[in-house]
Structure 1
Amino acid sequence: MSGSPADDILRLVFSFRRLAHGPADGACAAGTCEECFALHRPKVERFIEQGVPVHFVIPAFPAKSPNPQKVLGTLPDMAERVSLEFLQELCDYTRHYYEPGARITICSDGHVFSDLVGVPDETVHAYGAELESLLAAIGADAINTYGLEDAFPGFPFDEQRAMLTSQYAVPVEDVRARALAEPAARNIFGGIHRFLFEDRMALSTGRSRNSVREETKSLAYQVIQRSDAWSQLVEDFFPEALRLSIHPQVSHSPKIGIHMMRTKDNWLTPWHGVALDDGDGIRLVKRHEAEQLGATLVMRGGRVSHYIAPNVSTSAKPLIEEVAS
């Protein structure tokens, strides 16, 4: 494999890949699969030919989970800060191989499905505003944001969601059929359904697990429908950009799944977890897991920030600790 700047940049990104486990994992996970490189190399080379920063887009940072067993509150905390600093450093480090470096557009999808996941639009807006403040505070000048209100300005959020669905969504029946027929789509459905079930179960009283599971199964298909619609809109607005994802992706996907923090959970994200400083670095866990370890809550600027558990030994584990799904 060549040592071209394009391949060097892709090798850097692949080293943080959030990979869905499958039969092609060997060479793909090792970063030696030519097919993986060939999928994305032309886009990187196009930016290099133009002499401009390589542009990545990542639909992410929607809002905090409403589940208090997972998160500390409704606003970004240390988990988001560490993740944003990682993204900025990824852009900075790209300059080692290509002087203009890279830039990342965070395409926040919070308003896309906030009504489905039980998070008010006002809470999503407050989360987004604090995210912008955090980007400014850490000097993340290679990162900008783009949201549903940028795509459909001047309309209420309900109308923005309706416009997104009417212009870009496929019928829910098609989403369901794809999840039944395609392993990759089934894997995405399983992950989204797990998130929704955990969150709804934590907020439900007097309901059986089966009734919540059936309700969230239907919601999961709708979340995927809107998420796919948002993905298509992002593709239309940023056709030249390389696509990053916070979900595990199969090896030869046009999207590159990426970890932003060290974690044992291949699906966990900063908005579904908390930052835990375990003495060997910061890793991402669910709130109840940190509390089960006896971790201490840290306040920063009068607000909850993260946990510390200095007695937890991780034996200098690697940045990314994926577990088999």
Structure 2
Amino acid sequence: MTASHLSLEEGTMSGSPADDILRLVFSFRRLAHGPADGDCAAGTCEECYALHRPKVERFIEQGVPLHFVIPAFPAKSPNPQKVLGTLPDMAERISLEFLQELCDYTRHYYEPGARITICSDGHVFSDLVGVPDETVRAYGTELEAVLAAIGADAINTYGLEDAFPGFPYEEQRSMLTSHYAVPVEEVRARTLADPGARDIFGGIHRFLFEDRMALSTGRSRNSVREETKSLAYQVIQRSDAWSHLVEDFFPEALRLSIHPQVSHSPKIGIHMMRTRDNWLTPWHGVALDDGEGIRLVKRHEAERMGATLVMRGGRVSHYIAPNVSASVKPLIEEVAS
């Protein structure tokens, strides 16, 4: 598969179709390692399977495709040190191809396969992260075009405007929080008490701080850090509200996440591309061809190594690492007779 070149031989394991499918998904897990992870910090345990097996088995009993939901693909980060622009590029394309291939690969274990609903959360917190709603809408329109271009017929999208149609985005956000959000004070208390929630807060806060610092001039790091700390609690509040809405609208679906999750979470954190950063996502980075495949890095990291910018269709697409041609393997390899 695109994300890690998984072969069918690697994915073929004896067991029930439900466990084989979960084993496939778990092979791309984005884990938040913590004290509670214990024996499954480096793999999986029976409890990991038991949390999700009933949902998989229900789909199999009904003879219909498995249904995954993943809140993801909100909009590009506003930080030019991380991304190439405001529209989807090769990073999104590779990630969408991975999700489609994940659905395809499930057919090896269960013929109806799977489908994925991308629950785009761009409008959920666009005002908090400094991305205009018009930019979010343009990103979503181009994302649909990419899905069509790659023939991703197992993927559909769902957004805030689908949940609350006919209302301005600001009213949609108000309706989301009034129906599904808990008070920010409760989010703050949970963050202080729960190591998993604290890890999520740390990742969100880091993203916000990096983006706001890149766009701020004449401000101290401490003042920006304090501002983004408050924003992080609000982003988590709305993100949790969106998660609750998605669970309400799609109660039978298996829940994927682009954030690292502890092993025994009701959500399965998942990587869609090779990366060395457990928190990096396609909308916070760029695609880099390093000669062994395409991995996700931040724009400034690609430029620091002297990578070459590639254009596709008259638009910025991705980077190629320097001297990559020296490490490329031939397409046909001679074998000893």
TM class, shorter-length: over 0.9
Residue 306 of structure 1: SS of its match in structure 2? Answer: strand
5+ residue gaps, structure 1, are none
Aligned to 1:301: 313
Residue 324 of structure 2: SS of its match in structure 1? Answer: coil
Quote the RMSD (CA, aligned, Å): 5.3
State the alpha-carbon separation in 1 of the partners of residues 22 and 332 from structure 2: 17
Q: C-alpha displacement at 1:39, in angstroms?
A: 0.1
Q: C-alpha displacement at 1:311, in angstroms?
A: 2.6
Distance 1:276 1:168, change over 3 A: same
Contact 2:291/2:328 (<8 A) preserved: no
Contact 2:291/2:327 (<8 A) preserved: no
Distance 1:314 1:102, change over 3 A: farther
Distance 1:107 1:324, change over 3 A: farther
Q: C-alpha displacement at 1:27, in angstroms?
A: 4.0
State the alpha-carbon separation in 2 of the partners of residues 255 and 315 from structure 1: 38
Distance 1:106 1:299, change over 3 A: same
Residue 75 of structure 1: SS of its match in structure 2? Answer: coil
Deviation readout 1:113-166 (Å, 9 max, x if unpaired): 000000000000000000000000000000000000000000000000000000
Distance 1:288 1:318, change over 3 A: farther
Distance 1:322 1:262, change over 3 A: farther
Distance 1:317 1:106, change over 3 A: farther
User: Of 133, 142, 145, which aligns to 1:133?
Assistant: 145
More deviation, 310-319/24-33: 310-319
Contact 2:83/2:284 (<8 A) preserved: yes
Contact 2:256/2:269 (<8 A) preserved: yes
Distance 1:320 1:11, change over 3 A: farther
State the alpha-carbon separation in 1 of the partners of residues 336 and 39 from structure 2: 17
Q: C-alpha displacement at 1:21, in angstroms?
A: 1.0
More deviation, 51-60/22-31: 22-31
Residue 116 of structure 2: SS of its match in structure 1? Answer: strand
* Greater Rg over alpha carbons, structure: 2
Contact 1:20/1:251 (<8 A) preserved: yes
Q: C-alpha displacement at 1:31, in angstroms?
A: 3.8
Q: C-alpha displacement at 1:310, in angstroms?
A: 4.6
Identity of aligned residues (%): 93
5+ residue gaps, structure 2, are 1-12
Residue 20 of structure 1: SS of its match in structure 2? Answer: coil
State the alpha-carbon separation in 1 of the partners of residues 336 and 181 from structure 2: 32
Contact 1:280/1:313 (<8 A) preserved: no
Aligned length, in residue pairs: 325
State the alpha-carbon separation in 1 of the partners of residues 326 and 71 from structure 2: 31
Q: C-alpha displacement at 1:324, in angstroms?
A: 41
Contact 1:58/1:106 (<8 A) preserved: yes
TM-score of the superposition, structure 1-length normalised?
0.95
Contact 1:58/1:104 (<8 A) preserved: yes
TM-score of the superposition, structure 2-length normalised?
0.92
Deviation readout 1:14-59 (Å, 9 max, x if unpaired): 0000000123546424544000000000000000000000000000
Deviation readout 1:294-320 (Å, 9 max, x if unpaired): 000000000000000153699999999
Distance 1:29 1:14, change over 3 A: farther
Contact 1:74/1:127 (<8 A) preserved: yes
